[in-house]
Amino acid sequence: MNVHEYQAKEILARFGVKVPRGKIAENVDQVREAATEIGAPVMVKAQVHAGGRGKGGGIKFCKTIDEAVEQGERILGMTLVTPQTGPHGKVVRKVYVTEALDIAHEYYLSVLIDRARARMTVMASAEGGVEIEKVAAETPEKILRQDVNPAVGYLPFVGRKIGFGLGFSAAQVKAFTKMLGAMIRCFDECDASLVEINPLVTTPDGELYALDAKLNFDDNALFRHRDIAELRDLHEEDPLEVEASRYDLNYIKLDGTVGCMVNGAGLAMATMDIIDLAGARPANFLDVGGAANKESVTNAFRILLSDHDVRAVLVNIFGGIVRCDRVADGIIAAAREVKIEVPLVVRLQGTNAVQARKMLADSGLEVLVAEGLDEAAKKVVAAIEGGAA
Amino acid sequence: MSILVDAATKVIVQGMTGSEGSFHTKKMIESGTRVVAGVTPGKGGQTHEGIPVFDSVSEAMAATGANASVIFVPAAFAADAALEAIDAGIPLLVTITEGIPVRDMVKVNQALVRSRTRMIGPNCPGIITPGRCKIGIMPAEIHQAGTVGVLSRSGTLTYEAVDQLSRVGLGQSTCIGIGGDPIIGSPFTSLLPEFEADPQTEAVVLIGEIGGTAEEEAAAWIRDNMSKPVISFIAGATAPPGRRMGHAGAIISGGKGTAAEKKQVLRGAGIHVADSPAEIGQMVLHALGR
């Protein structure tokens, strides 16, 4: 789960990370109030869950309070398009008004999980404020990495090693060691999956601040963090994905035309891949899970058909614990409840598949039945091409 | 021969009295598995499905001589169950549970390092040596005893691959779902040596997916150590970056962990890589020269 910059900074500040003073505003009056309280000059920053906000015109330096109000008026309600939002962009509903600091230098700093080594790791670079992926790809030697030993947790030497590595003065290293300790405590105590400060800045008088911050949380641990779970902003998510999550369906909207419904995440990805190989593009990822039944299949059909780009549907179920006859039951019931106006290809394999295929054939539904994976993908692509002709 | 489990393996089910645990205990027994005990704290002394239930893993081990345990405990309590089994010194632990927090897995992994336990999972279908022992939730009937080893980060996609193998007449020595989470007990590299050493195994199918570097590490090990053919498929060539594709570990982050990148590394290590998931069975036949 993601949160907004202002929420990330509030959380980090609680752990002792120094952040610029700021106030959240949802309308122009609040922008004026916040800017007046903080005192000009200020930054006005669009709050959406995406990076690259500055490039899209969502972050502005404002010399006066009137200028802040003007920018607030422009940014609030705008559709912000950044390299990370996709072409449709995101509507800005809140702006964060913060003090504008004088900046001497920008750094990159993050804490994340090293999967292979099963532990927290710190990544830092003196090349801050830019995309760290770019730095990693072009100049990997400019990235410092240090593990946090899970048996002992954070120790000051980790901070010293990175701090001196970044070229900080002795006094700055002291402050940095504290800041990094706070980040790591935050990561651990909040079950975060990413704590990123980019940029971390120094001011001309040598102070360290988290100028921007990003926190991601482990969805699987939200059950023990009610306060964090409440920060979920449904406006930032695709409405169909939100709807799907209500039914425990794992749905991700993509940009193709073949809707797919599959049991299991790996098979769902493989189904997307084989649709692509057959010459069409998947419209979505959809894992109906291990308990595919009449209700979940009906809901899944409703959700994937409300994507108007879908021109054919491929159902691919490998019955193990899930019984194919129950899935067929679900498809037949769903077809009665939800109007399926596009070609439907169904591939059922595994437990009770023969019986399930017969049920579909006897149902009177217009279903194209396939046995193999390859056959299913070819049939669904042919159905689209036939429809277009 | 096979790896890790065979007809002599004696299995404990942690969480046996729950609905998932009950259902799969029956299925495991039907597949020939010697399920010798259940563990549900507070229900020690009872029997369930005719099997004795104990309060703790160590009691169950002492009473039955079990050498493997499988966890069907809800995610919030699964790490505790795993740590208990590791503390009891169980040689093989299979954690089926999906949704265990990463922080919990960091702790479990720490405990595993200095233990005598090998853990498979979490978020996995388990392990099966067809006809002899099944510890997990996979449909036993699609499997056949044979000579192909299977390692996979997925569940149903593994079934698909196994089904293709069985249909072309290739049975399996042992199939292991290693789990779809970012942190797992046994990565590919810890299991490949077992297949290399197993005289029954003639070839290995390795099913990976986007996210992390487990396939790249496997490729390096295979290039340097493996004499048997390895056939691979990587799911998620069409997955968008930055999105978690169902499995907690299946995410392309910072442009790393793409299917294209993994396939290239695997091919560079001399591994047969199928672009289509429908070609896995045929490709193994071909690699074995049949």
Distance from CA of A68 to the nearest CA of B (A): 33
Mean pLDDT score, A259-269: 95
Residue A305 three-state SS: helix
Is A209 found in the same domain as A86? no
Q: Does A164 touch chain B (CB under 8 A)?
A: no
Contacts 24+ apart (CB under 8 A), A37-40: A38/A97, A38/A98, A38/A99, A39/A99, A40/A64, A40/A65, A40/A67, A40/A68
Residue tagged 């940029």 (tokens): A199
Residues of chain A with pLDDT > 70: what percent? 99
Q: Does B260 touch chain A (CB under 8 A)?
A: no
Cross-chain residue pair A191–B102, CB shorter than 8 Å: yes
Q: For chain B, how many residues are written? A: 290
Specify the pLDDT at position A389.
41
Strand A250-253 to A22-25 pairing? unpaired
CA distances from residue A178 to A170, A191, A208, B106 in whole angstroms, order as listed: 13, 20, 11, 24
Specify the pLDDT at position B235.
97
Mean pLDDT value across chain A: 93
Specify the pLDDT at position B1.
67
A-chain residues near B156 (CB < 8 A): 262-264, 266-267, 318, 320
Q: What is the maximal distance between C-alpha atoms in chain A?
A: 79
Tokens of A20: 């610029």
pLDDT digits (tens, 9 = 90+) for A30-63: 999 999 999 999 999 999 999 889 988 999 999 9
* CATH code, A34: 3.30.1490.20
A-chain residues near B139 (CB < 8 A): 319-321, 350-351
User: Could you report how far apart the first and last alpha carbons of chain B are, in Å?
Assistant: 22
Is A322 found in the same domain as A306? yes
pLDDT over 80 at A149, yes or no: yes
CA distance A80 to B286: 52
Render A107-164 in DSSP notation, one character per residue.
EEEEEEEETTTTEEEEEEESS-SS-HHHHHHH-GGGEEEEE--TTT---HHHHHHHHH
For residue A92, what are the domain limits?
Answer: 21-99
Residue pair B42/B129 in contact by the 8 Å Cβ criterion: no
CA distance B262 to B101: 26
Is A110 found in the same domain as A67? no
Is A336 found in the same domain as A315? yes
Specify the pLDDT at position B43.
96
Specify the pLDDT at position B162.
97
Tokens of A176: 């940095």
Tokens of A184: 């790591």
CA distance B16 to B37: 9
A12 falls within a domain: no
B-chain residues near A262 (CB < 8 A): 156
Strand A192-202 to A105-114 pairing? antiparallel
Bond preceding residue A20 cis, omega within 30 of 0: no
Q: Assign A86 a pLDDT band (cuts: 50, 70, 90).
A: confident
Distance from CA of B186 to the nearest CA of A (A): 10
A381 falls within a domain: yes
Q: Does A277 touch chain B (CB under 8 A)?
A: yes
Specify the pLDDT at position B154.
94
pLDDT over 80 at A388, yes or no: no
Specify the pLDDT at position A387.
59
Nearest to B248 by CA among B23, B94, B97: B97
Cross-chain residue pair B158–A116, CB shorter than 8 Å: no
In B, minimum Cα distance to A262 occurs at B156
Could you confirm whether A247 is annotated as catalytic? no
Is A152 found in the same domain as A58? no
The interaxial angle of helices A156-165 and A170-189, nearest 10 deg, is 130
pLDDT over 90 at B28, yes or no: yes
Residue pair A221/B103 in contact by the 8 Å Cβ criterion: yes
A15 falls within a domain: no
Cross-chain residue pair A373–B138, CB shorter than 8 Å: no
Minimum-distance CB partner of A270 among B138, B157, B249: B157
In A, minimum Cα distance to B24 occurs at A321
A234 falls within a domain: no
Specify the pLDDT at position A138.
86
- In sequence order, the β-bridge partners of residue B242 are none
Domain stop point among A201, A229, A257? A229
pLDDT over 50 at A307, yes or no: yes
A371 falls within a domain: yes
Residue pair A322/A354 in contact by the 8 Å Cβ criterion: no
Specify the pLDDT at position B76.
96
CA distances from residue B174 to A100, A109, A297, B144, B269 in whole angstroms, order as listed: 62, 44, 33, 10, 23
Among residues A108, A154, A209, A251, the one annotated as catalytic is A108
Nearest to A95 by CA among A108, A82, A77: A77
Minimum-distance CB partner of B238 among A137, A250, A276: A276
pLDDT digits (tens, 9 = 90+) for A104-126: 999 999 999 999 999 999 999 99
Residue pair A325/A364 in contact by the 8 Å Cβ criterion: no
Nearest to B188 by CA among A49, A386, A115, A171: A115
Distance from CA of B64 to the nearest CA of A (A): 29
CA distance B99 to A39: 46
- In sequence order, the β-bridge partners of residue B71 are B14, B95
- In sequence order, the β-bridge partners of residue B116 are none
CA distance B173 to B164: 15
* CATH code, A180: 3.30.470.20
B221, B238, B245, B280: best to mutate for the A interface, most A CBs within 10 A: B238
Is A252 found in the same domain as A303? yes
**Taking the model in full, what pTM does it have?**
0.94
Nearest to A271 by CA among A323, A316, A320: A316
Distance from CA of B2 to the nearest CA of A (A): 23
Q: Which residues contact A20 (CB under 8 A, 6 or more apart)?
A: A43, A98, A99, A100, A101, A209, A211
Alpha-helical segments (H) within chain A: 5-15, 28-38, 65-75, 132-138, 156-165, 170-189, 226-229, 239-246, 265-277, 294-305, 324-337, 353-362, 373-388
The interaxial angle of helices A5-15 and A170-189, nearest 10 deg, is 110
Is A250 found in the same domain as A191? no
Is A127 found in the same domain as A31? no
Residue pair B178/B187 in contact by the 8 Å Cβ criterion: yes
Least confident of A52-56, B8-12, B47-51: A52-56
In A, minimum Cα distance to B254 occurs at A133
pLDDT digits (tens, 9 = 90+) for B134-162: 999 999 999 999 999 999 999 999 999 99
Tokens of B119: 């853990």
Domain stop point among A209, A229, A249? A229
Could you confirm whether A371 is annotated as catalytic? no
A-chain residues near B277 (CB < 8 A): 270-271, 273-274, 373
Is A252 found in the same domain as A219? no
A13 falls within a domain: no
Report ipTM for this prediction: 0.95
- The residues of B assigned a catalytic role are 247
> Identity (one letter) of the amino acid at B245?
M
pLDDT over 90 at B269, yes or no: yes
Mean pLDDT score, A305-334: 90
Is A222 found in the same domain as A131? yes
Domain stop point among A229, A263, A291? A229
Q: Which of residues 60-79 of A touch B (CB under 8 A)?
A: none
Residue pair B64/B37 in contact by the 8 Å Cβ criterion: yes
User: How deeply is A176 buried, as exposed, middle or buried, from its count of CB atoms within 10 A (0-12, 13-18, 19+)?
Assistant: buried
Q: Assign A234 a pLDDT band (cuts: 50, 70, 90).
A: very high
A-chain residues near B275 (CB < 8 A): 273, 277
Query: How many beta carbons lie within 10 A of that of residue A84, not counting itself?
Result: 17
* CATH code, A274: 3.40.50.261
Give the E-state strand segments of B165-283 in sequence order: 172-177, 203-209, 230-235, 272-274
The number of distinct structural domains making up chain A is 3
A16 falls within a domain: no
Contacts 24+ apart (CB under 8 A), A233-239: A233/A3, A233/A4, A233/A49, A235/A91, A235/A93, A236/A2, A236/A48, A236/A49, A236/A90
User: Could you report how far apart the first and last alpha carbons of chain A are, in Å?
Assistant: 43
Is A244 found in the same domain as A371? yes
Minimum-distance CB partner of B75 among A220, A269, A373: A220
Is A223 found in the same domain as A124? yes
A182 falls within a domain: yes
Strand A284-287 to A250-253 pairing? antiparallel
